[in-house]
Amino acid sequence: MLHRKLYQLHCDGHEVNLFLRDQQRWIERAKILDIEGNLVTVRYEIEDEEESSSWEEILLLESIGAVSRQLSFVPRIGEMELLVSEDCPESEQIVSPTTEPEQKSKPSAPENNNNAE
């Protein structure tokens, strides 16, 4: 089952976090490069204060204890105000289905009474 899930994440190109049971550590934001039999090849980066390094490891499938994937994130920015629908231009606003838009009375078109007898 884990093999199929890893293959699916590999095909989709998602970054994953892997927990290695035998080393009791997490590999964060790894890209699965290849899966051959019970070997999984991953690439990831580690950033320290002084340097950034890129790693490629070949892992045994049995050593992978857990796989997680980040779905989304929202940055925490100090005093930033989020935009709401009232801030959008009027042409881009979505009309709420509970409120009826005001109907402007339009003059009705004259009826065409061309009866040929």
pLDDT one-digit tens code per residue, 88-98: 777 777 776 66
Q: How far is CA 7 from the centre of its chain?
A: 19
pLDDT tens profile 59-110: 999 999 999 988 877 777 666 666 666 667 777 777 766 655 555 555 555 5
Class of domain 2-68: mainly beta
CB 35 within 8 Å of CB 50: no
Average pLDDT, the chain: 81
| pTM of structure | 0.60
Q: Stretch 44-58: mean pLDDT, rounded? A: 93
pLDDT value, residue 115: 55
- Indicate the DSSP class of residue 80: P
Residues 38-56 have a mean pLDDT of: 93
